[in-house]
Amino acid sequence: MLFLVISSPRPERPSSMRPGQKAYWDWLNGLEAAGVVRHVWNKVGRGAIVVLDVDSHEKLHVLLNQWAEHVPASFEVYAVTPKSFQETIARQGTNPLEL
């Protein structure tokens, strides 16, 4: 399952968060290498937009808690589908998941 996650870190001084930020990047790079993180963009100022590929809501919950341990933040979470899914429906008039 794909989830687009937008983080909004707490408004603390960035310099006070450097150790957590370093740990965050190590953590995020490991998830990217494992294929869990599909895309990462940084928001201007602070925060990030990340696409996660996980197999359950519980796994998503664990990852968001780990993220907040490194950089305390609030999160907006959106479930998304690949472009190809909706394109197939539009072009063929059928749902690829219908049995």
Q: Tell me: the pLDDT tens digits for 58-95?
A: 999 999 999 999 999 999 999 998 888 888 888 887 77
Name the residue ranges covered by the structural domains of the chain: 2-92
Q: May I ask the CATH class of domain 2-92? A: alpha beta
Contact (Cβ atoms closer than 8 angstroms) between residue 73 and residue 7: yes
Supply the pLDDT for residue 87. 85
Q: Tell me: the pLDDT tens digits for 10-64?
A: 887 777 778 888 999 999 999 999 999 999 999 998 899 999 999 999 999 999 9
Strand spans (E) along the chain: 2-9, 37-42, 48-53, 73-80
The arithmetic mean of pLDDT across residues 3-9, rounded, is 96
- Label residue 1 by pLDDT band (50, 70, 90): very high
